[in-house]
Amino acid sequence: MTRFRFYTATTLDGFIADEHDSLDWLLDQPIDESGALNYTDFIGDIGALVMGATTYQWVLDHNESTGESWSYTQPTWVFTHRDLAPVTDDVRIVSGSPTDFRQELVDAAGKKDVWIVGGGDLAAQFAAAGMLDEVIVSIAPVTLGAGRPLFTKAYDLELREFDRNKAFLCARYDVVGPRPTR
Ligand SMILES: NC(=O)c1ccc[n+]([C@@H]2O[C@H](COP(=O)([O-])OP(=O)(O)OC[C@H]3O[C@@H](n4cnc5c(N)ncnc54)[C@H](OP(=O)(O)O)[C@@H]3O)[C@@H](O)[C@H]2O)c1
């Protein structure tokens, strides 16, 4: 069955980018590409991607500055209220609730999983829609004090796996459900 998985790096204080959407704090950290919870193994299980507009724009800007091109081979859903241009035929620009796209995401993923790339509020929208099974974080040894949040709703998770990958503490959690309100 298709799983919806949020896989991201984060600072110890729960930010996935700084206030200017920079990942400078992340990109110079040592990591073993074949180590614990590595990206290569993860992306091999992924059949469709979901990301918010800021993340999409970051990838486009990064590619422009490095001369790289769009690297994802899987179909990608970009959530935005704006009329953004899809960078390839496999990018769909969409708006609305995650539930509006559940069936097409599951169909596109086939026997594989859906990667919620970020940001944290979009991942929380997927959780609220009952469309988030797993959170996988690589925690960098950095605090920023402010920035783009890892997650924006109160949820209980269950720790399923953890390990060290060079500078990172890596952990995989099942999503249990929203924290009960008093
Ligand atoms: N550390 C990591 O590994 C990692 C991973 C992923 C991302 N990042 C970075 O983290 C930052 C995340 O940025 P962010 O917090 O702004 O989150 P984001 O999800 O990338 O972008 C948020 C934007 O997505 C659009 N959006 C979200 N939900 C929507 C919905 N239901 N319908 C339509 N549009 C919707 C809105 O854009 P509009 O209203 O403007 O259209 C919203 O302002 C980026 O800098 C990204 O590069 C880091």
DSSP string, 20-55: T---HHHHTS---TTSTT-HHHHHHTEEEEEEEHHH
Give me the CATH number covering residue 133. Answer: 3.40.430.10
Residue 66 lies inside a defined structural domain of this protein: yes
Q: Indicate whether residue 43 lines ligand 1 (CB < 6 A).
A: no
Mean pLDDT of 32-44: 98
Atom of ligand 1 nearest to the CA of 59: 47
User: What's this model's pTM, rounded to 2 decimal places?
Assistant: 0.98
Q: Indicate whether residue 95 lines ligand 1 (CB < 6 A).
A: yes
Minimum CA distance residue for ligand 1 atom 22: 52
Q: Return all residues near 129 (Cβ < 8 A) that are at least 6 apart.
A: 97, 98, 99, 102
Q: Determine the Cα–Cα distance for residues 88 and 60; give it in Å rounded to an integer.
A: 11
Atom of ligand 1 nearest to the CA of 56: 20
Q: Return all residues near 4 (Cβ < 8 A) that are at least 6 apart.
A: 105, 113, 114, 116, 126, 131, 132, 133, 134
**pLDDT, tens digit (0-9, with 9 covering 90-100), for 114-123:** 999 999 999 9
Domain count, the chain: 1
Q: What is the DSSP letter of 82?
A: S
DSSP letters spanning 111-146: TSEEEEEE-HHHHHHHHHTT---EEEEEEES---SS
**pLDDT, tens digit (0-9, with 9 covering 90-100), for 127-152:** 999 999 999 999 999 999 999 999 99
Residue 80 lies inside a defined structural domain of this protein: yes
Question: How far apart are the CA of 80 and the centre of ligand 1, in A?
Answer: 8
> For position 176, what pLDDT does the model report?
98
Residue 113 lies inside a defined structural domain of this protein: yes
Domain span including residue 53: 4-140+156-172
Residue 97 lies inside a defined structural domain of this protein: yes
Residue 151 lies inside a defined structural domain of this protein: no
Residue 149 lies inside a defined structural domain of this protein: no
Q: Is the pLDDT of residue 110 over 80?
A: yes
